[in-house]
């Protein structure tokens, strides 16, 4: 299988969608000549032209609103919001419009809109350009939420999201764009709602999202040297959530750690903990541990930024705690 970067995998999925479906077009700030702030859409304007690769004004509400309207009229727009922090400027359109129309119309109107966005710490962007807000949108019925952590997953899940009849929020992590991984020769959609077990283990299940999947895998390698066998599960799709795969893993290992870069308070790990507590309580041999960022705006200073967000060492400490308390 060919090896590509996460960035190239996203571009490949977009290119495939544009070539195979004339209803697909892209919208976003500086996605044309500039190729987007992260270089994901470079070269697409040359192939598909300005009608399908549309630069927009700096108005997230207008971008998302236009995407909703065109989706309701039969198109399949892929909207890029430059930083996920700026989703806050389009909340009315996302929460009260995109998420509601299919239900309120009794299924007569669908909104096949994909909203790509990225965020995450690791490059000192400051408090307004690196938040992880995925848990907010999991709370909204009518929205699907995807957070892919590898090139193969981001490629297959994005292709599936563009084909979906519902609005999909597709989160990417800034520091994952350069990582490389093998992808299948043929682009196949990965169904939304199916988790992935990255590593099998016997003693502890770590359910991680985004960048923390890679930190969890690093922690699992270190734990193995201490005689602790760690299973790493990536939900990939936060809504719908593959609860059964997660619960089967916890029932096997009898211990659970949740890990994400978003702040711990109210983060997606809290929902995961509730799912595990309800569905696997009788199997648990220790309290569920949660790993996330400290509760505060992300500092600009690199040393402080790294102190706020979690790393492999934090996941490893949580693994040790849950084993010690068993």
Identify whether 188 is part of a domain: no
* Band of pLDDT at residue 189, cut at 50, 70 and 90: very high
**pLDDT score of 15 more than 70:** yes
The predicted model gives 265-277 an average pLDDT of 98
What average pLDDT score do residues 258-269 get? 97
d(CA 309, CA 199): 23
**Average confidence (pLDDT) over 266-285:** 98
> Given a cut of 70, is residue 231 above it in pLDDT?
yes
CATH number (domain holding residue 284):
3.40.50.920
> Is 22 a residue of the active site?
no
Report pLDDT for 325: 83
DSSP β-ladder status, 24-28 and 76-81: parallel
Query: How remote is the C-alpha of 44 from its chain's centroid?
Result: 23
Is 318 a member of any domain? yes
**Same domain, residue pair 64 and 155:** yes
- Same domain (yes/no): 271, 221: yes
Model confidence pLDDT, tens digit, residues 162-171: 999 999 999 9
pTM of the model: 0.96
Task: Tell me the C-alpha distance between 290 and 206, whole Å.
Answer: 10
Residue 326 clears pLDDT 80, i.e. is over it: no
If one counts the domains in the chain, the total is 2
Specify the pLDDT at position 1. Answer: 74
What CATH number does residue 158 fall under? 3.40.50.970
> Across the chain, what does the average pLDDT equal?
97
Residues 271-293: what's their mean pLDDT?
Answer: 98
Looking at the structure, tell me whether residues 177 and 201 fall in a common domain: no
Indicate which residue of 129, 173, 214, 260 is catalytic.
Answer: 129
Report the pLDDT averaged over residues 187-210: 97
Is the same domain home to 147 and 203? no
Last residue of a domain, one of 182, 209, 236: 182
pLDDT given for residue 2 in this prediction = 86
Q: Write down the catalytic residue from 29, 60, 261, 289.
A: 60
- Region 125-138: what's the mean pLDDT? 94
Residues 90-113 have pLDDT tens digits of: 999 999 999 999 999 999 999 999
For residues 169 and 142, membership in a common domain is answered with yes
Would you say 304 and 271 are in contact if contact means Cβ atoms under 8 Å apart?
A: no
Separation of alpha carbons 11 and 88, rounded Å? 25
Tell me the mean pLDDT in the region 246-257.
Answer: 98
Tell me, yes or no, whether 168 and 28 share the same domain: yes
Domain boundary among 150, 182, 214: 182
DSSP state at residue 166: S
Average pLDDT over residues 111-134: 95
- Structural domain including 232 reads 196-324
Q: Is 60 a catalytic residue?
A: yes
Overall average pLDDT of the 193-211 stretch = 98
């Amino acid at each position: 299988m060919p090896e590509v970067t996460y960035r190239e995998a996203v571009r490949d999925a977009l290119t495939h969608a544009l070539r195979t479906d004339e209803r697909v077009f892209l919208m976003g700030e500086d996605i044309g000549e500039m190729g987007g702030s992260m270089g994901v859409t470079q070269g697409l304007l040359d192939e598909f032209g300005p009608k399908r690769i549309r630069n927009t004004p700096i108005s997230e509400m207008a971008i998302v609103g236009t995407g909703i309207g065109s989706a309701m009229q039969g198109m399949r727009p892929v909207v890029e919001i430059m930083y996920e922090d700026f989703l806050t400027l389009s909340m009315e359109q996302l929460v009260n419009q995109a998420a509601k129309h299919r239900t309120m119309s009794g299924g007569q109107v669908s909104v096949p809109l994909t909203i790509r966005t990225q965020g995450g710490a690791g490059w000192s962007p400051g408090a307004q350009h690196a938040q992880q807000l995925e848990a907010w949108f999991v709370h909204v019925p009518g929205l699907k939420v995807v957070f892919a952590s590898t090139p193969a997953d981001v490629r297959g899940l994005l292709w599936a999201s563009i084909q979906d009849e519902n609005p999909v929020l597709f989160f990417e992590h800034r520091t994952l764009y350069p990582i490389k991984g093998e992808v299948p020769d043929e682009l196949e959609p990965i169904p939304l709602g199916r988790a992935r077990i990255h590593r099998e283990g016997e003693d502890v299940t770590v359910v991680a999202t985004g960048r923390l999947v890679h930190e969890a895998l690093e922690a699992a390698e270190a734990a193995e040297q201490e005689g602790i066998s760690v299973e790493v599960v990536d939900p990939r799709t936060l809504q719908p959530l593959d609860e059964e795969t997660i619960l089967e893993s916890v029932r096997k290992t009898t211990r659970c750690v949740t890990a994400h870069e978003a702040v711990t308070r109210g983060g997606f790990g809290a929902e995961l903990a509730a799912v595990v507590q309800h569905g696997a309580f009788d199997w648990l041999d220790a309290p569920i541990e949660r790993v996330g960022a400290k509760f505060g705006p992300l500092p600009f200073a690199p040393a402080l930024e790294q102190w706020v967000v979690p790393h492999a060492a934090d996941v490893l400490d949580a693994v040790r705690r849950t084993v010690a308390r068993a």
